[in-house]
A and B are shown apart, each in its own frame.
Chain A
Amino acid sequence: MSLTTGATLRRDAEHLVGGLPPLLAEANRLASSVILGVHGRRRTGMGENFWQYRQAMPGDDLATVDWRRSGRTDAVFIREREWEAAHTVAIWCDPARSMHFSSHKSLDTKFHRAAVMSLALSVLLSKAGERIAFPATAVGEARTGERHLQRIAATLSSIAPDEEYGEVPKFDQLNAARTVFFSDFLGPEDKVLAPLRTAAERAGVGSIVQILDPTEISFPFDGRVIFESMGGAIEFETLRAKALREEYQERLEKRKDLLTQFARDTGWRFVQHQTSQSPTQLLLWLYMAIGVV
């Protein structure tokens, strides 16, 4: 797999639709900073040849014999299959309406931040040869490679929100070694924790990233306000919003505590990220957290 250079990116951009190239480009840019920073040495010596051969031994499945290699010598060689056990990383990027929110036009929406993060992570993983899957989407199958990345990008760009709050999907068919969850985790409590537990049972080590808008933390409202969920399905009216701030922040803190507790119980990792913070920081953290490369 070749590096995604500026030239290929442009070429690809012409083929792709809509907001995809910016998303991928952004992810690439983000990813490259990590690669250069932490794992730069590993790049030398990496080539196309990921295969390893060994002489066939009794008991080996005939179908696994690489006849072309074996034809050159008298011995029979078998293509080493160990590499197939390469990690599958499942990423869940919450597509719900609540994620499509930013309090100010200079800030990214939470979803955008999540999409960029997950895509950047995908690029890194893809380069490391890992397989990436986005369960419950069009790219739900674990794959790797440039083409897959492009499909991921296209999928993330064209995702249409339907629910108010996202729910962690079931990881039925996947045996993911690592899982990463991007969400605001602001939905109803039972819809947040229960699926996480299910996922924790099936998937491997996970990382939970709670992405929040700054206003969701500071709650800078006052006066008579009707708060609406992004889809408008949920409304809440108050006459003095300011008076609710402390209670709100308490609840938010409690949610954070819940998630932290959950992470501690399961050996997962939890981080809270604000869209006003730098994404690089988070990416680095994730990269280390996954620790597969």
Chain B
Amino acid sequence: MVALGGIVFLAPLVLLGLLALPLLWWLLRATPPSPVHIKFPGVQLLLGLFDRDKVSDRTPWWLLLLRLLAMAAAIIAFAEPVINPEESPDREGPLLILFDGGWANAGDWTARLEELEQVLEDAARAGRPTALINLSDAIPEQATLSFRDARELVTGARALEAAAWQPDREGYARWLEAQDVTFDSVWLTDNIAYDDSDLASLLQERGNVQVFASNADPMALRPMRIEEGAFVIDAIARPLDQDRDVTITIFGTAPNGAELRLAEETVQFPATAYFTEARFELPLELRNRVTRAVLSNQSHAAAVVLADDGLRRRKVALIGTSIQEGPQLVDPMFYLRKALEPNVELVEGELSELLLTAPDVLILADAGELSLSDSEKLIAWIEEGGLLVRFAGPRLAASGAGQLVEVPLLPVRLRAGGRNLGGAMTWGDPKQLEPFAESSPFFGLAIPDDVTVSAQVVAQPSPELSERTLASLTDGTPLVTAKSLGEGRVILFHVTANAEWSNLPLSGLFVQMLERLSVVSGGEPLAAELAGRRWLLERELNGYGRLSDPEPMQPVDGERLIDDPVGPDAPPGLYSSGELTAAVNVMSSDSVLESITWPAGLVPIIPGEQEEQALKHWFLLAALVLLLVDVLATLFVSGRLRNMKAAHAATTGLLAMGLFLSADPGQAQDDIDAIRSANDTVLAYVLTGDPAIDRVSHAGLLGLSVILSERTSIEPVEPIGVDIQRDELAFFPLLYWPIIETQRPLTPEAIEKLNRFMATGGTIFFDTRDANLGAGFGSGTANGRALQRLAAELNIPPLEPVPADHVLTRAFYLLQEFPGRWVGPDVWVEISTGTSTEGMTFAAANDGVSPVIIGANDWAAGWAIENDGRPMFTVGRGMNGARQRELAFRFGVNLVMYIMTGNYKSDQVHVPALLERLGE
């Protein structure tokens, strides 16, 4: 191979032919344009005449140049130039194939597997002993790397499933370091740096390395957290050169247990950013129902974050002196309990006991002096991140705590005694609340007019007072103050927690304030509680981001869950220990995605971006065009363009050639197709881009068209393939759409076109062609997922399996099952609204024809015929197969009848006859 600025010649020796060009120049130059021989009796008269003009006995230079260029183009073409060549592994010796089987590859798993298979096949062809390591597997026990025939590995490779965790490159790097062998390696990577390991360099030490990097742009979500009462989710991705929109959807359980989409938000992901933030202001009730957040358009484990108890219910410890025998309504704890009970886990008891239960928040209502040991424990707890909320009261006012010096457990110094406002013996009126300052966490909360404060403990003026004040009364005296202590905070409400000093606890504002103070729900996951327990995996998050029941496995130590990223020994999912549930997510709250920095001399091959592109045909084409021009030019030079006919022919030929080369061949066909489609009934299928599928679709609809013509008054002409992005759909009553895994997302225009098509009477017949093997409706199979992605964009009504009395079952034949090539699962149509005794009443639109029909039986293959009328595929076995094919055709006839005639067949007219036949 010889490289020349990005272009590589596979057969460089041919280029030596270029050396012959000067010779050619000389030859051409010496040879005048070839003469025409003309029989002419008058030649005798010409004898003895001389040419006066001798110029044209040599080929003009520009014609020479033209010919040399053509020649050079041909020579270069045969030297097989290639842009971005893939280095073919034509070496020998053992080959190690590394595969990043983690979540980042799950999004386009099939493509990755195909790549892997390709590499394996290449290795098999080269006969190299091969070893395959899925970096996401647990590190094997045995210490040696064993190389085998690559063919044996293909089956295993096909069965690989994406892991929900990241590949353990560090571990494998250590493991490989211990191997004392040399090998070449091929690494199929997701191109995300998870750790600092330098696997690539290690591989380079052992031999030649080739890296295939995925060009996918995986995004991930960090665990949810709560900031100032709002849900905050960070989306992370690698910086790209363009802004992207990310849509985050929050799911939760409805009261009836069904899963609901609670909120959805689209934020812009700036080009150069590593993460972006989405905030969700959810009502408290909804917030506690959140189960997970999902990043749309990303189908892998890291695009899902699960919520757990840490986000939902906080443990709040209440400490106060309960009045055992007094009226409940004056109990200092009563309103707190009422406010907190629905949303948090409340614990009550002695301080020393409560601290052992590791509460998130501790509320002290009107407590006086604490004992020294208690307050030391309390301070220690706060400094580790606890939140202490205190309420004032007669006892606090009387205790004199914090009046002389500032104590740790009170945010401010207090004045002795309290202050009464608006009582019988006082001058002032009860004070109202000042609107919350912008810096206050309560900012934005509406203050009801009737909330008044009639008594409070008053803070000593001090320099810090204003910054520690979170809320104040209209006269400027603080109502709520706070200060930080270690990692925790101390908050003081200068009124009582009951209605004695103020009617604040009676108002909704009280609950909202508690909420804002993160008393009700916190932001930290259960990290602290993970440690020291053993956790059992309840629901496992698989590599594609779906929850499933896990294989039975040993409980996992909490420390393992905290310290290390998820892995095969601790997959992400929901874990339980006793009553606690903890969510273990793929990403942690400080995760960042970055591309791998490749060592010098290693350039990863990124498919799509640098696909190998052979240039041979372009050069040959150039040579051909040049030669055609040469034909014209030669004619011109030799004066034979005078013959207008020849000139016309030549120019026409050239133009036609040019048109053929430049024009989109489909474009010219469009009008013809449109005319044909408008004049006749045409069944249409969607071109998938896979020629094999398209051929089957065409043959299938052709077979159905033939049957329709034979048996019914519908006489379709030859079916047409439709390019969804480009073609006009208005002509077609039916659009057969075979789903393939690599179905591309639709453009907005195409979506609009399809929606309009369905709204104006067209029917799309989706066929996943896989008989739903392996899963329920549209969820499990690759094609099913492709269909789901596709259908999510479209305006598809609610569906139901074809009911027994649906028009489809009797539009022409009486049918109850709808086999295609497979006999399989239900066919789904638009849900019927309301029934009557005779036949079905559908939604009025489209004359009762469902705009979509979805199935999986690969009907096109069932209908497909060859050009000579023979079936293209085997259907079933023996006579049963023949019967099944017949039924497939009958379903096709019914389908087209149904689409063409709508609810006509459900008319009463036919009911007696139908009843009679049904009764047989």
A interface, CB within 8 angstroms of B: 97-99, 101, 110, 164-165, 184, 186-188, 213, 215-216, 219, 221-230, 234-244, 247-248, 251-252, 255
Q: Which B residues between 27 and 49 are near A, CB-CB below 8 angstroms? A: 32-47, 49
Task: Give the top 4 A-B pairs by smallest Cβ distance, nearest first.
Answer: A223-B639, A222-B639, A98-B41, A223-B638
- Chain A residues near B42: list those with CB within 8 A: 186, 216, 219, 227, 248, 252
Closest B-chain residue to A229, C-beta based?
B43
Stretch at the interface among B50-58, B537-545, B594-602, B912-920: B50-58
Whether B640 is near chain A, meaning CB under 8 Å from some CB there, is yes
Main secondary structure of the interface of A (DSSP, over half): mixed
User: Could you say which residues of chain B place their CB within 8 Å of the CB of A248?
Assistant: 42, 45-46, 49
Nearest Cβ in chain A — how far from B420, in angstroms? 123
Shortest B168–chain A CB gap in Å is: 79
Q: Which range contains the number of B residues in contact with the other chain?
A: 20 to 34
User: Is B877 on the interface with A (CB-CB < 8 A)?
Assistant: no
Interface string of B1-45 (1 = CB under 8 A from A): 000000000000000000000000000000011111111111111
| Chain B residues, Cβ within 8 Å of A230 | 39, 41
For residue B637, which residue of chain A has the nearest CB? A223
Q: How far is the CB of B159 from chain A (nearest CB, A)?
A: 73
Kindly provide the distance from the CB of A137 to the nearest chain B CB, expressed in whole angstroms. Answer: 21
| 18 A-B pairs with C-beta separation under 8 A | A97-B41, A98-B41, A101-B41, A184-B41, A186-B41, A186-B42, A223-B640, A224-B35, A224-B57, A224-B638, A225-B38, A226-B36, A227-B39, A235-B43, A236-B43, A239-B32, A239-B57, A240-B53
B644 CB to closest chain A CB (Å) equals: 12
Q: How far, in whole Å, are A252 and B49 apart by their CA atoms in the complex? A: 13
Residues of A near B338 (CB, < 8 A) are none
| B642 touching A222, Cβ below 8 Å | yes
Complex-state Cα separation, A225 to B642, whole angstroms? 14
Q: How far is the CB of B51 from chain A (nearest CB, A)?
A: 5
Write out the residue numbers on chain A whose beta carbons fall within 8 Å of the beta carbon of B43: 227-229, 234-236
Output the nearest chain A residue to B58 by Cβ-Cβ distance: A239
* Closest A residue to B45 using CB positions: A251
Indicate if the CB atoms of B46 and A244 lie closer than 8 Å.
yes
| Residues in A neighbouring B39, C-beta threshold 8 A | 101, 227-230
**A222–B47 CB distance below 8 A:** no
**B739: shortest Cβ distance to chain A, in Å?**
63
Q: A110-B41, A216-B40, A223-B33 given; name 6 further pairs at CB < 8 Å.
A: A101-B40, A184-B41, A222-B642, A224-B33, A239-B54, A243-B53
Q: Are A186 and B638 in contact (CB under 8 A)?
A: no
Which single residue of chain B is at the shortest CB-CB distance from A220? Answer: B642
CA distance A244 to B46 in the complex (A): 8
Q: A230–B640 Cα gap in the complex (Å)?
A: 22
CB distance from B538 to the nearest CB of A (A): 92
A253 to B57, CA, bound (A): 30
Q: Which residues of A contact B56 (CB under 8 A)?
A: 224, 239-240
Q: A239-B51, A239-B53, A244-B46 are in contact. Are A222 and B640 (CB under 8 A)?
A: yes
Contact of B639 (CB < 8 Å), options: A97, A242, A244 = A242
Scoring B32, B41, B44, B52 by chain A CB atoms within 10 A of each residue's CB, the highest score goes to B41
Q: Which residues of A are found within 8 Å of B32, using beta-carbon distances? A: 224, 239
Q: A99 CA to B41 CA in the complex, in Å? A: 8
**A255 engages B45 (CB within 8 Å):** yes
Q: How far is the CA of A215 from the CA of B40 in the complex (A)?
A: 9
Report the Cα distance A164→B47, complex, angstroms: 14
CA distance A242 to B641 in the complex (A): 13
Residue on A with the closest CB to B53? Answer: A240
Min CB distance B32 to A, Å, is 6
Whether A240 lies near B51 (C-beta < 8 A) is yes
Instruction: Say yes or no: A187 contacts B44, CB within 8 Å.
Output: yes
Residues of B contacting A97 with CB < 8 Å?
41
Assembly CA distance A122 to B216 (angstroms)? 97
Given that A224-B36, A237-B35, A240-B56 are contacting pairs, would A229 and B41 also be in contact in the complex, using a CB cutoff of 8 Å?
yes
Q: Within the complex, what minimum Cβ distance (angstroms) separates B53 from chain A?
A: 5
Min CB distance B13 to A, Å, is: 38
Residue among A98, A215, A243 making CB contact with B51, cutoff 8 Å: A243
Return the chain A residue nearest B52 by Cβ.
A243
The interface centre, meaning the residue of A221, A225, A234, A235 with most chain B CB atoms within 10 A of its CB, is: A225
A61 to B34, CA, bound (A): 76
Q: How far is the CA of A201 from the CA of B38 in the complex (A)?
A: 38
The smallest beta-carbon distance between A186 and chain B, in angstroms, is 5
Q: Which residue of B lies closest to A184 (CB)?
A: B41
A225 near B35 (CB under 8 angstroms)?
yes
CB < 8 Å neighbour of B41 from A216, A222, A235, A243 = A216
In whole Å, how far is B31's beta carbon from the nearest beta carbon of chain A? 11
Q: A110–B38 Cα gap in the complex (Å)?
A: 17
Query: Quick one: which of B40, B52, B640 has the most chain A CB within 10 A?
Result: B40
Q: Which A-chain residue is minimally distant from B36 (CB atoms)?
A: A225
A6 to B881, CA, bound (A): 76
Q: Which residues of the partner chain A approach B51 to less than 8 Å between Cβ atoms?
A: 238-240, 243-244
Q: Is the CB of B44 within 8 A of A234?
A: yes
Do residues A227 and B57 form an inter-chain contact, with CB atoms below 8 A? no
Contacts of B53 in A (CB 8 A): 239-240, 243
Q: Is B44 within 8 A of A186, CB to CB?
A: yes
A216 vs B33: C-alpha distance in the bound complex, in angstroms? 25
Cβ-closest chain B residue relative to A110 = B41
* Cα distance, A221 to B51, chains bound together (Å): 14
Complexed CA–CA distance, A164 and B45 (Å): 13
Is the Cβ of B638 less than 8 Å from the Cβ of A165?
Answer: no
How far is B39's CA from A225's CA once the two chains are assembled, in angstroms? Answer: 10
Tell me if B36 and A244 are in contact (CB < 8 A).
no
- Interfacial chain A residues near B47, Cβ < 8 Å: 234, 236
Most buried by A among B42, B46, B640: B42
Which residues 148-207 in B have Cβ within 8 Å of A in the complex? none
| Chain A residues, Cβ within 8 Å of B639 | 222-223, 240-242
Cα(A215)–Cα(B54), bound, Å = 25
Closest CB in chain B relative to A223 CB, distance in Å? 3
Instruction: Please state if A188 and B35 are interface contacts (CB–CB under 8 Å).
Output: no
Assembled-state Cα–Cα distance A165/B638 (Å) = 30
Cβ–Cβ < 8 Å partners of A225 in chain B = 35-38
CB of B907, distance to nearest CB on chain A (Å): 72
**Chain A residues whose CB sits within 8 angstroms of the CB of B33 once the complex forms:** 223-224
Q: Within the assembled complex, what's the spacing in Å between the Cα atoms of A208 and B637?
A: 42
Candidate in A215, A241, A252 with the most chain B CB atoms within 10 angstroms: A241
Which of the listed residues A215, A239, A252 has the most CB atoms from chain B within 10 Å of its own CB?
Answer: A239
Bound-complex Cα distance A225 to B32 (A) = 11
Query: Are B44 and A229 neighbours in the complex by a CB distance under 8 Å?
Result: yes
Please give, as numbers and ranges, the residues of chain A lying within 8 Å of B38 by CB-CB distance: 221, 225-228
- Report chain A residues within 8 Å CB of B34: 224
Which A residues lie within 8 Å of B637 (CB)?
Answer: 223
A87 to B638, CA, bound (A): 55
How far is A148 from B543 in the complex, measured between Cα atoms in Å?
A: 109
Complex Cα gap A234–B33 (Å) = 21
User: In whole angstroms, how far apart are the Cα atoms of A234 and B39 in the complex?
Assistant: 10
Q: In the complex, A215 Cα to B43 Cα: how many Å? A: 12
Query: What residues of chain B lie closer than 8 Å to A165, measured between beta carbons?
Result: 44
In the complex the two chains form, what is the Cα distance from A36 to B36 in whole Å? 48
Give the distance to chain A from B516, nearest Cβ to Cβ, in Å. Answer: 97
Given contacts A224-B56, A234-B47, contact A213 B35 (CB under 8 A): no
A124 to B125, CA, bound (A): 92
A113–chain B nearest beta-carbon distance, Å = 13
Which residue on A lies nearest to B32, using beta carbons? A224
Taken together as a complex, chains A and B put the C-alpha atoms of A26 and B908 apart, in Å, by 84
Looking at the complex, which one of A219, A228, A234, A243 makes contact with B37 (CB distance below 8 Å)?
A228
A240 to B642: give the CA distance in the assembly, Å: 13
C-alpha spacing A235/B35, complex, angstroms = 12
Distance in Å from the Cβ of B170 to the closest Cβ of chain A? 79
Which of B45, B637, B638 has most chain A Cβ within 10 Å? B45
Within the complex, which residue of B46, B57, B642 is in contact with A236, where a contact is CB–CB below 8 Å? B46
Chain A, Cβ-Cβ closest to B56: A239
B35 contacts which chain A residues (CB < 8 A)? Answer: 224-226, 237
Q: Are B45's CB and A186's CB within 8 A? A: yes
Within 8 A of A (CB), among B64-87: none
